[in-house]
Amino acid sequence: MKPFKTTISHIARLILWAIAIAGACGVVAQLNEPVPPVFHSKIGDKAASRHGEVKLAVTGQKLNYVGCNKALRDTDVYSPKSAHFHPDGTKYYINSLEGCMTIVYDAATGKKLHVIKHKFTDANAYLWAKPSGLYHFTHYSKHLNTFWGRPVESAFSHKGRYLWIPYYRRSYDLNAQDPSAISVVDTRADTIVRVMETGPLPKMVAASHDGKYMAVTHWGDNTVGLIDISSRRPVDWHWATCITVDHKLKLNFSTTAKVDRDSHSGYLLRGTVFTPDDRYLLVGCMGGVGGIAVIDVQQLKYLGRLTGVYNARHLVIDHGYLYASLNAAGIVQRLALDTVLDAVRRLGVRKTAVLKGWQACRVGRGARTISLSPSGNYLYAACNAASELCVVDTRTMKLVASLHLDSYPVGLDISADGRHVVVTSQGRKGHGGNAVNLVTVDYATPEPNLLLAKAAATSPVAATGAGKLAQTKAAVEKAVKMPVGQCLTLLLGVVLVVLIVVLLKVVNRHSHDKAPHAD
């Protein structure tokens, strides 16, 4: 008879394998499920919460599907994947994946400002950073830097000066198994100023709060790269490391027959977020055994996975919570960040730690990108299969509103004042997609404007005025050896005494004038 501990170990392994197979089957099943009916929204469509806390309305559209309103047609909108407002709120960026371009719109007017084409030839050689030695071509050898790039997600760095855009693959790499690339856009002119190699099939990017690193998550082979961006000069940026999550995939697919890399990619690394102190990087595992991979940013090493969460597509840290969208289940959930960090600290010899205590809310099927309002009171979720923009009240973790949008929503971003949500809709198997919706939101309780708050905090006038006031107060206190409050009280007492003396003199003089004179 085998020892009891050995038996338990075998059972645990069997359970993990069962979870892995179930997770993989779930992803594949979702990819192979019948395409939901196509829905098209129109300007004027509305939705609201039961008690009017939030009211949603479609107020703008960019469309490019057969039969769409010609007045709203924008032929550059081709498989729009993601949307991002610039930090200053003046414009927003749409990545057209199959169009191989990024479109820039004026946030106030909706006018198209620029179209950034992700086409590279020998003439663009000056844009490329030196090879890092981390990523190697094994299937292609000629004209490696001549291609069209398919933009996926994006992230800003250097206070909005630069926008980083990873490419799903280089156009010649049929099955995304060799190094791809990431471009850097200078947002002052909206032109590409730098291009760097990446691992295969990069999707998510995230900038550390301290401005030191840009994380690039490789969906294609279970790795995460970190680029050192601490310099202000793009020419100085360089790869710091590439970290493997458990095991790196060996890629040797055909170069002529298409393979489904949306499912045949290991852990399907996706959602990526730095903790507020930049100590750790959390990466969602949509496939495999699931969980959230943890990287120690200080030590530049992989620590292990946090389990208890499956098929996590997008991760956000906001107002002390870690939020996750569970794609297949159509759920958004949250857990106190302190609880998450406690679990991270348990990672050591054991490469896993369980996360417990999630608060969950069922939204629409295919929960993809999520974003929170400035107050953190409302979470917005792009629900792909349901063709909905769903709103969750995070104080109760209840669904309070949903608005049908063009099939099939995938990306979104919310403006700094919470009043506008841009949603991209990408097609599925030739159905739906090619639509961008601008949704305006009215709140019963106004949301804080993050731009105004930031401006007030950094205003030279406000800072100078506050500084002078503090200096004056300190000088007065130093001169009289007592707090300003007591000084004002003393001064007021002196003024009252003076007034009383003046009044007494006036009364005496008046009485003297009225008295009879002696002869």
Residues 171-192 pLDDT 10s: 999 999 999 999 999 999 999 9
Q: With bands split at pLDDT 50, 70 and 90, how would you rate the model's confidence at 492?
A: low
Task: Return the pLDDT at 454.
Answer: 77
Angular region, 308: left φ>0, alpha ψ -120 to 50, beta rest: left
81 residue type, one letter = K
Tell me the mean pLDDT in the region 338-342.
98
Which two tokens mark 415? 């403006």
Q: With bands split at pLDDT 50, 70 and 90, how would you rate the model's confidence at 7?
A: low
Q: With bands split at pLDDT 50, 70 and 90, how would you rate the model's confidence at 8?
A: very low
- What CA–CA distance (Å, rounded) separates 154 from 166? 7
pLDDT at 517 over 80: no
Residue 53 phi, psi (nearest 5): -65, -40
Contact 173, 138 (CB under 8 A): no
Task: Return the pLDDT at 480.
Answer: 36
Find all residues with CB under 8 Å of 8, minimum gap 6, and list them.
none
Task: Return the pLDDT at 141.
Answer: 97
pLDDT at 476 over 50: no
Please give the residue that has the higher pLDDT: either 199 or 466. 199
pLDDT at 408 over 90: yes
Task: Return the pLDDT at 303.
Answer: 98
Which two tokens mark 194? 């730098």
CA distances from 63 to 113, 353, 432, 435, 504 (A): 17, 45, 11, 5, 84
Task: Return the pLDDT at 100.
Answer: 98
Contact 154, 84 (CB under 8 A): yes
Task: Return the pLDDT at 10.
Answer: 52
Closest CA to 97 of 32, 165, 158, 34: 165
Task: Return the pLDDT at 455.
Answer: 78
DSSP 8-state assignment for residue 71:
G
Count of C-beta atoms within a 10 Å radius of residue 425: 30
- What CA–CA distance (Å, rounded) separates 332 from 309? 11
CA-CA-CA-CA torsion sign (32, 36, 42, 44)? negative
- What CA–CA distance (Å, rounded) separates 290 from 250? 20
Which two tokens mark 122? 């020998």
CA distances from 429 to 20, 38, 426 (A): 26, 12, 10
Q: How would you classify the pairing of strands 301-307 and 352-354? A: parallel
Residue percentage of the chain with pLDDT more than 90: 78
Tell me the mean pLDDT in the region 130-145.
97
Q: With bands split at pLDDT 50, 70 and 90, how would you rate the model's confidence at 163?
A: very high
pLDDT tens digits, one per residue of 460-471: 554 444 444 444
Mean pLDDT, the chain, as a whole number? 88
Task: Return the pLDDT at 483.
Answer: 45
How would you write 167-219 as a 3-class SS string?
EEEECCCCCCCCCCEEEEEECCCCEEEEEEECCCCEEEEEECCCCCEEEEEEC
Q: With bands split at pLDDT 50, 70 and 90, how would you rate the model's confidence at 505?
A: low
pLDDT at 388 over 80: yes
Find all residues with CB under 8 Å of 419, minimum gap 6, and list them.
440, 441, 442, 447
Angular region, 184: left φ>0, alpha ψ -120 to 50, beta rest: beta
Q: What pTM value is reported for the model?
A: 0.84
